[in-house]
Structure 1
């Protein structure tokens, strides 16, 4: 009789018997003892026992209990893996919902907003006593240098109004964003984060969906820090 747990698995497209079979196959190919190996050992033990000194019933019952426990654990492992794979996968509908939106991700190329300037961030692996963001144009000319001061580990944001250090309008870009973080003269691992619109989405047979962003290229959905 199906249980509520079986019904939940069924709604996810998962069959317990199927996951158990896959788990048993995977186990049999590994270096550890699986159900089939355990059963073979028990059969060999019974076939080769001394008829004048047979295996004690208590020991046999204990071994059967171990076999039953191993079978249950194997099935549970297969079922949990199937659930994990199902929940971790990105559906086509989820992936296509990215199109037309902007995402924050690690990158160095950014295009100006309609109102001018760009917003972004700096991701720090550790605290820094000084964080600088430099914005240059396509030819490498420095347009703006922003000092974000001391920052703790994590993500700090910035917003540039599109004006150069000299006060001129920098245009629509594209711009190159570079981050430099230091702590007591030591360079702290960091990366610039930029906002970019999602142009298209592709869904490979395995792994996360891939997003195509102008100026950045293709990134996995797992690389998205924030959705705008």
Structure 2
């Protein structure tokens, strides 16, 4: 009886030592089906198929085509993600060179500093008479206006020196520039663009690269820039 007990104890100890010496691999396994795994499964399918109901060639080709297409789409997505990262980096590099420069953007909302006025462009689709540029404050009050007369079609430049109708220098801040022309018996508002200084560049995943302009809230896309000039 004691021999049996001793043998059992020795056997259990041996099993315990084996368990303690065995390392359990807890690393997560890759569950992605590779091309090699797919062809291995396809080979098994062919080996164990019913000889009286073999897999049709068309079905086999369809399975292989579906897997190849899915794998190709996955690779294409990876390549497009890499290309998008490269393009974003390139745009950021281009935009950073604009910091401190003046850019022409399609907006009449502008900023006047202590020493500068506002420059811009009025866009005319046809020859127009009686072109007038009007400067308003953010409350819509007219601070200054000047006539540009008759103009041909194209981009007509203007330069406001920052003064009011009496020649007094207006305080720095935001102003709205509007342009009008006489079309028949009515006055029509014209498209306008203004120059602004680039203060900084913002980079975000959703919106890409944005230019932050002096005194103007909200960024402009690099593609919105119509012209670049010295600051």
Give the TM interval when normalised to the shorter protein: 0.5 to 0.7
Q: Which residue of the partner structure matches residue 225 of structure 1?
A: 226
Q: Which residue of the partner structure matches residue 159 of structure 1?
A: 158
Q: Which residue of the partner structure matches residue 135 of structure 2?
A: 135
Provide the secondary structure at the position in 2 that maps to 1:72: helix
CA gap of 1:198–1:57, structure 2 versus 1, over 3 A, is closer
Question: Contact 1:119–1:157 at 8 Å: present in 2 too?
Answer: no
Aligned length: 183
C-alpha deviation, 1:150, in angstroms: 7.0
CA gap of 1:77–1:148, structure 2 versus 1, over 3 A, is farther
TM-score by length of 1: 0.54
Whole-angstrom distance in 2 between the partners of 1:210 and 1:144: 32
Question: Contact 1:103–1:197 at 8 Å: present in 2 too?
Answer: yes
Whole-angstrom distance in 1 between the partners of 2:155 and 2:207: 29
C-alpha deviation, 1:98, in angstroms: 2.7
Q: Which residue of the partner structure matches residue 171 of structure 1?
A: 169
Question: Contact 1:101–1:197 at 8 Å: present in 2 too?
Answer: yes
| Greater Cα offset, 202-211 or 183-192 | 183-192
Map 1:175-194 to 2 at 5 A.
175-180=175-180, 191-194=191-194
Whole-angstrom distance in 2 between the partners of 1:225 and 1:83: 26
CA gap of 1:100–1:121, structure 2 versus 1, over 3 A, is same
Q: Which runs of 5+ in 1 are unaligned?
A: 1-24, 26-34
Provide the secondary structure at the position in 2 that maps to 1:198: strand
Q: Which residue of the partner structure matches residue 71 of structure 1?
A: 71
C-alpha deviation, 1:193, in angstroms: 1.6
TM-score by length of 2: 0.54
Question: Contact 2:163–2:170 at 8 Å: present in 1 too?
Answer: no
Write the deviation string for residues 47-82 of structure 1: whole angstroms up to 9, x where unpaired.
Answer: 997652211346424542453244224423431343
Provide the secondary structure at the position in 2 that maps to 1:76: helix
Provide the secondary structure at the position in 2 that maps to 1:200: strand
Provide the secondary structure at the position in 1 that maps to 2:76: helix
Question: Contact 2:134–2:179 at 8 Å: present in 1 too?
Answer: yes
Question: Contact 2:114–2:171 at 8 Å: present in 1 too?
Answer: no
Whole-angstrom distance in 1 between the partners of 2:187 and 2:54: 72
